[in-house]
Amino acid sequence: MLGLVYRAEMDVKLEGDVKIHNWNLPVPKPRANDIKIDWDNPQTAKMGLKYRLDDKNLLFLSAGWEDWSKFSQNTLALEGGALNPEIRLDRKFDDTWNAGIALAHHESGHATSIGFAYESSPVSDSDRTLDLPFDELYKLSFAYAWDGEKNLAFSLGSTLYLVGDASIDQTSQGVRTKGKFDTNYILFLGGTVRYMF
């Protein structure tokens, strides 16, 4: 079984109030308390394949692409008063790709699955910023399901995210920032109870 998913680009516009302290940008400090933030969420495309190895085992493969270069340009506008500065940030994002593989085994009321996935980083070390320190991502997932008495069924699952160290080496307003974050681990745990009636 082959599946394709496409999500179109989405334009996001946010408005709100802001308080400004220690203004150091190369434009005059605005006398406003309103802010507008505008960005485009990237379009994405993904393909998945499910292949039956035999009566008890299924193989899953996936591959995808995300148009993160579209997210590279961000606009920050402060409105009100005599000055209306608009700041455009170029984060120098690149498009990303991802791939994954999983195996599911089912036998006599029990099922197990294990999977691994990889996502590339949208930004290089020299262009990575402290506010969005994206890096490559590894995912390892495991799930176990079983049938209970009568019409009950249960499942438990977990996914471990291993996030890269997000090395940074950039100069902003004459100040150089160089270093890396500790490697981050994110663990998701979940479970379900299902009753058929």
Q: Where are the domains of the chain?
A: 2-9+41-69+91-195
From first to last of its 197 residues, what are the pLDDT tens digits of the chain? 999 999 998 887 878 776 777 777 666 666 656 677 777 778 999 999 999 999 999 999 999 999 988 777 766 666 554 455 666 777 788 899 999 999 999 998 899 999 999 999 888 877 787 777 778 899 999 999 999 888 899 999 999 999 877 788 777 777 777 888 777 889 999 999 999 88
Taking the model in full, what pTM does it have? 0.72
Amino acid at 27: V
Q: How far apart are CA 160 and CA 103, in angstroms?
A: 17
Q: How far apart are CA 61 and CA 52, in angstroms?
A: 12
Inter-CA distances, 87 with 38, 73, 172, Å = 11, 10, 15
